[in-house]
């Protein structure tokens, strides 16, 4: 597909968007049935003042239902050794099974996963329709971080930074 235009079909859209490398997060919330969480990479920093993030939620996401109920969610940024955590939260097993498989701590109404690079707790401030997804905007009210190496997603596969990238210079 390099150097040529592709028809705007869903398969080409998927494979072209897979060239956009991202980190991996788990968005957590607490709904009527308790903790809920989903792996998400449609996550972006939206605004600095006020501090806002935005997330693209599939309309079928149970975590979206929980977040819309509680108006609270957290973004947990996964570390390079948390691929299995990502696989667990990308699945459709019960939310209880997901959280049994992953150590976490309840923090002011939201589950925060252990061993992540960073977490941000947010209140939901807006929801916009976005095709088969909803765009959720959250105001950051609390945050923390442990640092470390990120888990990445590129070309439909999990990746890690190589040694040269880790030693790279900060962006200007
Ligand atoms: C790397 C990766 C990134 C994903 N990103 C998103 C995302 O940004 N938004 C979304 O709705 N689903 C995303 N998914 C799919 C959800 O994790 C999946 O549908 C999950 O089962 C939803 O769980 P829930 O129904 O318990 O909320 C992603 C999956 C993977 C593996």
In total, how many domains does the chain have? 1
Contact 105, 114 (CB under 8 A): yes
Atom 20 of ligand 1: nearest residue by CA position:
90
Q: Is the CB of 24 under 6 A from ligand 1?
A: yes
- CA 94–ligand 1 middle distance (angstroms): 14
Q: Is the CB of 36 under 6 A from ligand 1?
A: yes
Question: Residue 2's pLDDT is what?
Answer: 55
The verdict on residue 134 lying in a domain is: yes
**Among the atoms of ligand 1, which is closest to the Cα of residue 133?**
11
- CA 3–ligand 1 middle distance (angstroms): 30
The verdict on residue 1 lying in a domain is: no
The per-residue pLDDT string of the chain (172 residues; one tens digit each, 9 = 90 and over) reads 456 676 789 999 999 999 999 999 999 999 999 999 999 999 999 999 999 999 999 999 999 999 999 999 999 999 999 999 999 999 999 999 999 999 999 999 999 999 999 999 999 999 999 999 999 999 999 999 989 999 999 999 999 998 766 677 666 6
3-state secondary structure of 77: strand
- In whole angstroms, what is the distance from residue 96 CA to residue 98 CA? 5
Closest CA to 75 of 125, 15, 120, 8: 120
Question: Residue 8's pLDDT is what?
Answer: 87
The verdict on residue 66 lying in a domain is: yes
- In whole angstroms, what is the distance from residue 91 CA to residue 104 CA? 18
Q: Tell me the residue range of the domain where 157 lies.
A: 22-171
- CA 28–ligand 1 middle distance (angstroms): 11
The verdict on residue 4 lying in a domain is: no
- In whole angstroms, what is the distance from residue 29 CA to residue 65 CA? 9
Question: Residue 5's pLDDT is what?
Answer: 76
Q: From the CB of residue 161, how many other CB atoms can be counted at a distance below 10 Å?
A: 14
Question: Residue 7's pLDDT is what?
Answer: 77
Q: Is the CB of 58 under 6 A from ligand 1?
A: yes
Look up the CATH number of the domain holding residue 134. 2.30.110.10
Q: Is the CB of 99 under 6 A from ligand 1?
A: no
Question: Residue 166's pLDDT is what?
Answer: 66
Question: Residue 171's pLDDT is what?
Answer: 65
The verdict on residue 16 lying in a domain is: no
């Amino acid at each position: 597909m390099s150097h040529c235009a592709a028809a705007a079909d869903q398969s080409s859209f998927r494979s072209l968007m897979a060239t956009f490398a991202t980190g991996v997060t788990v968005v957590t919330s607490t709904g009527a049935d308790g903790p809920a969480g989903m792996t998400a990479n449609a996550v972006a920093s939206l605004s600095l003042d006020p501090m806002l993030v935005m997330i693209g939620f599939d309309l079928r996401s149970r975590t979206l239902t929980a977040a819309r109920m509680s108006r609270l969610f957290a973004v947990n940024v996964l570390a390079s050794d948390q691929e299995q955590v990502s696989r667990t939260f990308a699945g459709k097993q019960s939310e209880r099974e997901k959280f049994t498989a992953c150590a976490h701590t309840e923090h002011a109404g939201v589950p925060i996963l252990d061993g992540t690079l960073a977490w941000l707790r947010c209140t939901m401030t807006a929801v916009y329709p976005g095709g088969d997804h909803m765009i959720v905007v959250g105001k950051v009210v609390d945050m923390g971080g442990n640092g470390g190496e990120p888990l990445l997603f590129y070309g439909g596969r999990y990746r890690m930074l190589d040694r040269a990238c880790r030693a790279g210079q900060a962006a200007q």
